[in-house]
Amino acid sequence: MGTINASRREVIGLVGAAAVGLAWTDASGAGGQKSRPKKAVMFGMLPSNRSVEDRFKIARDAGFEGVEAPPITDLAECERMRRAADSAGVRIHSVIYGGWGAPLSSADPEVIQRGLASVEAGLRGAAAMGADGLLLVPGIVNGSTRYVDAYKRTQANVRKLIPAAAKHKVAILIENVWNNFLLSPLEFARYVDEFKSPWVQAYFDCGNVVAFGWPEDWIRTLGPRIRKIHLKDFRGGPGLGSKGDFVGLREGSVNWPEVRRALEEVSFSGYMTPEQGGGDEAYLRDVSARMDKILAGE
């Protein structure tokens, strides 16, 4: 991957970030100042019948400061995306690489190598678009992959990606999804901390834990490990599992005022991106207004 040259200021920053990540005690009460998370939208939620340039302008006009892009490996297209975002005055803050990292829990060396090469390409594309994070679902637990094997294999393989993440200055952000893996906030925190690297942190999805937990509890436990957040709402609760339903923001079981308090306690000020279906300008303005109410603690 080559030698990484860093200034003294960069080195101090990385050491400080690593120290924060290693302290995996409960983070409740650690804040003190009112945080200001930033509003973002997924590129796929913007009207698909408009040009790339227009889609970023629509995001800005709806009140979003950032956009989460899909994984793009063509560097010319990445540059076009970055220029369009810059022109509109918004930032591509993240790439939703998602479950393409599932091969990292495989026992097949060829599958693993393809997975590693794919994620590295995703990191390059993210850097070219100006993003500082790549969302990764590292693996899956199922009838053919034991939990302990998924844990060990994904950690070993994600570690191989840390030099590329450092080179491109794009953090690998592990997300909690319905993959039968990292099923408690304590385990998620431990999983992240064991990398001992500021380049592997957490991307927390509020809606994905509602079927079996409480997002405010996860936020307080994960604390400063959380670099970015996906906003979803889920009508249901512990014990219901898939019997519940994903619904619009502020229409489900998430206690948003408590979530907002938890975010303040851990001083979260990163990007919050709703993960929902797409729509027209009026729909996007409505999503933005719902996010404003969440940020206001309503």
Specify the pLDDT at position 190.
98
In sequence order, which residues have a C-beta less than 8 Å from that of residue 280 and are 6 or more positions away?
A: 47
pLDDT (average), residues 269-281: 96
Do 38 and 270 contact (CB within 8 A), yes or no? yes
Q: HEC states along 82-122?
A: HHHHHHHCCEEEEEEEEHHHHHHHCCCHHHHHHHHHHHHHH
pLDDT at 17 over 60: no
Give the whole-angstrom CA distance, residue 171 versus residue 201.
7
35 has a pLDDT exceeding 90 = no
Element (H, E) at 218: helix 215-222
* Global confidence as pTM: 0.87
Q: What is the mean pLDDT of residues 23-42?
A: 64
161-171 per-position pLDDT tens digit = 999 999 999 99
85: nearest Cα among 40, 129, 41:
129
pLDDT in tens, 67-78: 999 999 999 999
User: What is the share, in percent, of the chain residues with pLDDT greater than 90?
Assistant: 82
Identify the H or E element spanning 174. strand 171-175
Taken as a whole, the chain contains a residue count of 298
Q: What average pLDDT does the structure give for the chain?
A: 89
Residue range 115-127, pLDDT digits in tens: 999 999 999 999 9
Beta strands in 12-159 (DSSP E): 38-42, 66-69, 91-98, 133-136
Band (233; pLDDT cuts 50, 70, 90): very high
* Residues 6 or more apart in contact with residue 167 via CB below 8 angstroms: 1, 2, 4
pLDDT for 244 equals 85
pLDDT tens digits for range 177-223: 999 999 999 999 999 999 999 999 999 999 999 989 999 999 999 99
Lowest pLDDT segment from 94-103, 222-231, 260-269, 271-280: 94-103
- What are the CA-CA distances from residue 169 to residues 6, 88, 93, 198, 206 (Å)? 11, 23, 12, 10, 26
Q: What pLDDT was estimated at residue 273?
A: 98
Q: Mean pLDDT over residues 281-292, rounded?
A: 98
Of 207, 225, 203, 188, give the one whose Cα is nearest residue 271: 203
